[in-house]
């Protein structure tokens, strides 16, 4: 599938709880984010190439979407454009809802 490093929701939750928060990039659409989100900057995947300047290539970035497919594409794009510390959230926000916050609405 992809050579992008993964971070699992349990590991991300542990890091958030410890105050070691990576930069979160949500590549879903605004209507998806309105249903549920875990924070982060919203840049839909189709806008990423023109909005890449809003991101810091030196900062650790965790990219997420609904299930992990779009975020894998976004992470590959970032890695190809000079970002070195990018991870894809394995399973996306669906995995977060299933394993971390079962009260979170899903779609």
CATH number at residue 32: 3.40.250.10
Please, what is the average pLDDT of the chain? 96
For 90, the domain range is 6-99
Residue 93 lies in a domain: yes
Domain count within the chain:
1
β partners of residue 22? none
Q: Is the pLDDT of residue 19 over 80?
A: yes
Tell me, yes or no, whether 20 lies in a domain: yes
Contact 104, 96 (CB under 8 A): yes
The residue from 65, 75, 78, 97 that is catalytic is 65
In a domain, residue 106? The reply is: no
pLDDT digits (tens, 9 = 90+) for 28-59: 999 999 999 999 999 999 999 999 999 999 99
Q: Domain for residue 51, yes or no?
A: yes
Tell me the per-residue pLDDT of 44-103, one tens digit each, with 9 for 90 and over.
Answer: 999 999 999 999 999 999 999 999 999 999 999 999 999 999 999 999 999 999 999 999
Task: Based on the residue annotation, tell me whether 65 is a catalytic residue of this protein.
Answer: yes
- pTM (2 d.p.): 0.96
Within a domain: residue 107?
no
> What counts of helices (H) and strands (E) characterise the chain?
5, 5
């Amino acid at each position: 599938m992809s050579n992008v490093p993964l971070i699992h929701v349990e590991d991300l939750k542990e890091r958030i709880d410890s105050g070691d928060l990576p930069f979160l990039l949500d590549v879903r659409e605004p209507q998806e984010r309105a249903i549920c989100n875990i924070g982060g900057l919203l840049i839909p995947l189709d806008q990423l190439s023109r909005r890449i300047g809003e991101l810091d290539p030196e900062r650790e970035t965790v990219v997420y979407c609904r299930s992990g497919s779009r975020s894998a594409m976004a992470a590959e794009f970032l890695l190809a454009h000079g970002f070195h510390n990018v991870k894809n959230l394995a399973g996306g926000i669906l995995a977060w809802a299933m394993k971390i916050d079962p009260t979170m609405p899903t779609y």
